[in-house]
């Protein structure tokens, strides 16, 4: 694929992930939740190639927020415990769990360990928050499915996929778990609760 705007092949589509668009906002949310935290950890999937292109934006956002960024990678389920030990040793006061299919399938591990270590964490999908995670900021899956349906209709009417740019997310969702916030001793700012798309109590 030559580019997202001009695929130049007999394919197109819709991406569910905002990647580097999402990470700076996720860090801002952590800053607002844990303003005294000077060190932010990033948990990454060592086997997911999509993370490395996102890292520069994460580091730039960290500098803009005057926060130190510590990146810890895992490549298997058995490495989660040691990863969180490293995060704790680094003195991280908050955690960004980057997106990957592996993390989605193993989401209870980072949720459980973040709770055990008392580290406020932001995730890239609502399901993490439903299962007990603190907060998520992500592309809307409903919005993406609508975009996909629109494209399917255009193609069925004769549009060439190669002439349709790959669509990126246009709607994003903020989900907060107040029960988890209380367990962590955090007070979620009222403005954040009011602007959230969903608050789980």
Per-domain residue ranges of the chain: 19-140+169-200
φ, ψ for residue 93 (rounded to 5)? -100, -5
One-letter-per-residue 3-state SS of 126-166: HHHHHCCCCEEEEECHHHHHHHHHHHHHHHHCCCCHHHCCC
The tokens describing 46, both together, are: 């060592």
Give the least confident one: 60-74, 88-102, 169-183: 169-183
Measure the CA–CA gap between 169 and 164, rounded to whole angstroms.
15
Q: Is the pLDDT of residue 13 over 50?
A: no
Give the number of residues written for the chain: 201
User: Is residue 113 helix, strand or coil?
Assistant: helix
Whole-number pLDDT of residue 35: 96
The tokens describing 149, both together, are: 């349906």
The tokens describing 127, both together, are: 């399901």
Digit-coded pLDDT (tens) for 116-140 = 999 999 999 999 999 999 999 987 5
Q: What is the DSSP string of 33-52?
A: H-TT--EEEEEEETT-TTSG
Measure the CA–CA gap between 73 and 51, rounded to whole angstroms.
10
Fold (topology level) of 19-140+169-200: Rossmann fold (3.40.50)
């Amino acid at each position: 694929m030559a580019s997202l705007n001009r695929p130049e092949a007999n394919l197109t589509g819709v991406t569910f992930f905002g990647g580097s668009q999402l990470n700076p906002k996720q860090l801002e949310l952590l800053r607002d939740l844990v303003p005294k935290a000077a060190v932010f950890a990033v948990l990454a999937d060592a086997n997911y190639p999509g993370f490395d292109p996102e890292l520069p934006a994460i580091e730039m956002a960290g500098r803009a927020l005057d926060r130190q960024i510590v990146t810890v990678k895992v490549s298997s389920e058995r490495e989660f415990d040691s990863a969180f030990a490293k995060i704790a040793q680094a003195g991280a006061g908050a955690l960004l769990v980057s997106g990957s299919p592996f993390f989605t399938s193993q989401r209870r591990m980072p949720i459980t360990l973040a709770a055990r270590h008392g580290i406020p964490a932001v995730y890239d999908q609502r399901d993490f928050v439903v299962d007990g995670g603190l907060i998520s900021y992500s592309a809307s899956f409903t919005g993406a499915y609508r975009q996909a349906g629109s494209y399917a209709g255009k193609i069925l009417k004769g549009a060439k996929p190669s002439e349709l740019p790959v669509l990126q997310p246009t709607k994003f969702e903020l989900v907060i778990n107040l029960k988890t916030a209380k367990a962590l001793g955090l007070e979620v700012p009222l403005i954040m609760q009011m602007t959230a798309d969903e608050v789980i109590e």
